[in-house]
Amino acid sequence: MTHVFMDNVQIYAMIKNYSLFYFLTTKSILNCTMFPKEQVDQIMLDNKNIKFGVTYIVVALFCLCVHIPCLIALFEKHHRKHLCFKILISIAVFDLISIVNVGLISGVFACMGMVACSAPTFMLISGAVTYTFFVSHTTATIFLVLTRVIEIWNHLYIERLFGDIKIYLWVFPLSMYVFYIVMFTQPMTFSSVILTWTFDPLVGMDLPGHKIVGSIAHTFNNAFYIISTITMYVVLIGIYLKKTSSSSIHNQNQTVRLTVQIFIIGIVDSITCTIFILIDFIPMETNFYVYANLMWLFQHVVQSLILTIFNKNIRRTIKSNILGPEKTNIKTIIQPKRDSFIFKTKISPK
């Protein structure tokens, strides 16, 4: 293989052109010709990390054990009829794939010492998938919070705005946004040098004078998520305080419980988005990157944890799916009363 020298300007341009669309239209992958194969092999050997690789895999398996029962419960018919739960189901599917990528695949990559130039094609595809479902998760969560604001403001608008086919008028532009971000901007690549995913495929490749290359699209996505969700939560609190006196206690409690659950999910998402904005442009210690990746994993299981712990309907469905439906004893008591009989039926748990 001929090794090609590239200056920093050429390297920067190459990374900026490194996109899924570029790959699909030109069949070109990341140009690693500046690195001899022996150098790439040595980088892999030096950066194999069994300890953190196994940690990622074990944590991911735990997340799947929590997440899958909740995902199955969400698919129950009585949950699917509510708009809020339809969105939660979508997020849960995105989370399932993300846990596999961010946890299991990252763990395997870390154990092998993988970097972008180890397997450029596979790294491009896996990075595109990872990024797709990260952006899908944040976009769907913004949509979820928006529906909560509208429902608390006036629940009648939910059907008017999102009923029947109208929901697709919202889903289509959101899908186009995700499609654009994933197809035309830099994909993520895993680097065993920092033990997480990054938008700079050459991080840790020992290039003199090379500075971290971030993704403007990723920064915009994360910043927009943080600003929009915080704004909507402030509006949500204002609407709730205004409507407290006129709402029934039962409906208040139901609405507030679900909204608080979504608020906790949003807080974890915001923290994760902030962390990955920072590491996009600022070099950090290795331990910080590890914590960032674990926080990313937690981001994709927090919804299932919150729903399992605080939502009694989901909890009851999970219990029923695992242990089977609760059995009952039916007793019929016949009490004489003058010339007729009174029949009383008593149902009690077995």
Q: What is the pLDDT of residues 157-214, one digit of tens each?
A: 888 888 778 888 888 999 999 999 888 888 888 999 999 998 888 887 766 666 677 7
Tokens standing for 82? Answer: 């509510």
In the DSSP assignment, the letter for residue 326 is: P
Q: How far apart are CA 272 and CA 196, in angstroms?
A: 13
Cα three-residue angle 53-117-197, rounded to 5 degrees: 45
| pLDDT for residue 264 is more than 50 | yes
- 310-338: b (≥16 Cβ within 10 Å) or e: ebeebeebbeeeeeeeeeeeeeeeeeeee
| pLDDT for residue 313 is more than 90 | no
Q: What confidence tens digit (pLDDT) does each residue in 198-257 have?
A: 888 888 776 666 667 778 888 999 999 999 988 988 888 888 777 765 554 445 566 667
pLDDT at position 56, please? 96
pLDDT at position 50, please? 94
Residue 197 contacts residue 276 (beta carbons within 8 Å): no
Q: How far apart are CA 336 and CA 283, in angstroms?
A: 84
Side-chain-side CA neighbours of 42 within 13 Å: the count stands at 7
pLDDT at position 7, please? 54
Residue 335 φ/ψ, nearest 5 degrees: -115, 120
Cβ-based burial of 101 (10 A; exposed 0-12, middle 13-18, buried ≥19): buried
Q: What confidence tens digit (pLDDT) does each residue in 25-46 have?
A: 877 777 777 778 888 888 889 9
Sequence spans of domains, the chain: 8-349
Distance separating the N- and C-terminal Cα atoms of the chain: 74
Query: In terms of pLDDT, which residue wins out, 43 or 324?
Result: 43
Q: How far apart are CA 87 and CA 301, in angstroms?
A: 15
Q: What is the mean pLDDT of residues 8-31?
A: 72
**Contacts of range 7-13, beta carbons closer than 8 Å, 24 or more positions apart:** 8/207, 8/209, 8/210, 8/211, 11/202, 11/207, 11/210, 12/213
CATH number given to 8-349: 1.20.1070.10
Q: What is the DSSP track for 55-76? A: HHHHHHHHHHHHHHHHHHHHTS
Dihedral in degrees, nearest 10, Cα atoms 131, 137, 143, 146: -120
SS3 assignment, position 191: strand
DSSP H helices, the chain, are 8-16, 20-26, 37-46, 50-74, 77-80, 83-99, 106-112, 120-153, 156-162, 166-184, 216-243, 249-281, 286-299, 302-310, 312-323
What sign for the dihedral angle of Cα 10, 283, 45, 295?
negative
* Helices 302-310 and 50-74: angle between axes, nearest 10 degrees: 50
Q: What confidence tens digit (pLDDT) does each residue in 41-97 have?
A: 888 899 999 999 999 999 999 999 999 999 999 988 777 778 888 899 999 999 999
Q: What is the mean pLDDT of residues 5-14?
A: 59
Q: How far apart are CA 3 and CA 14, in angstroms?
A: 16
| pLDDT for residue 4 is more than 50 | no
Q: How far apart are CA 114 and CA 195, in angstroms?
A: 9
Token look-up 């609407």 returns: 239
- Strand pairing partners for 197? 190
